[in-house]
Structure 1
Amino acid sequence: MDHPRFLCVLAATATVTLLAGGSALASQPECFDAEVSARIARQTPTVMNDCGPDCIVMAWPWIVELDVRRVYSGDLARGPVTVLTVQHTYYNQVRNGRHWWLRRNTLGTYNVLQPAQGETLQKCAADSPAASPFIQPPDGKTLDDLRREGEEYYGPAPYT
């Protein structure tokens, strides 16, 4: 990324994890609601407040549209689905799609889980409550508003 605004967003990666509700905060192991193969249709970084000249951002919330091609587990239809991720830069597109573990969240979308290499995630129980989303739109705004703001601020994704 050569955009200078990508470099200075939050004071520390730990802050991003705290804001994003990442697994570092989980008191119990994460579980997934759906395991799918999907291609990326669109990915947009969210705009974070400027934190000054002395901070480095490693990862922050993004809004990603997936085109689900195959469902291995879970109650999710093939086709488009909005997911929230915490990432540093754009995912590279994989020709036949990528394997994704998704956790439903309270916004009605999904958080992308990124298990460590060799880690096995368990399927969530049917009565498991929805997870907190990686980003919560402020009052009066939607994820679509945050996506538009990100596209206006950073420009269009390399592919959409």
Structure 2
Amino acid sequence: MSERLQPGDTAPAFTLPDADGNPVSLSDYAGRKVIVYFYPAALTPGCTKQACDFTDNLDLLAGAGYDVIGVSPDKPEKLARFREKENLKVTLVADPDKKVLEAYGAFGEKKLYGKTVTGVIRSTVIVDEEGKVERALYNVKATGHVAKLIRDLAL
């Protein structure tokens, strides 16, 4: 089980390919707040709902100084299909070897339909302008999570 991040921790640095295969690094966002969210699989109902909710609220979040990056173990080609099919505006990055998922505590044992399985733990980590963890939320729900996040951030 990977360690969960706590507020005040330095967010693990990463560089991952986006849906077009271009590198995206956390350091590219220095000086901005970043919502890094981890989801199990593109093109599945819950993950689609969550990605669409982030896309629908992107202007509000960006206006408040937040960028959004979605991380999944999918390959860039699948992320490109997901983005096109759902008209997503959030940055989606691929972590097929799950190194970043593990570094953020978003991969490990979880309950799925009453069974313990190993997989992606739906999580959201908010990184501040200095690269520190402001909030780390684990086992979040796909539906309603973005609305709750906006309320919690008082946006």
Above 0.5 in TM-score? Answer: no
TM-score range, shorter chain: under 0.3
Please identify which structure carries the higher helix content: 2
| Larger Rg belongs to | 1
Higher RCO by CA contacts (8 Å cutoff, separation 6 or greater): 2
| TM-score, normalised by the number of residues in structure 1 | 0.24
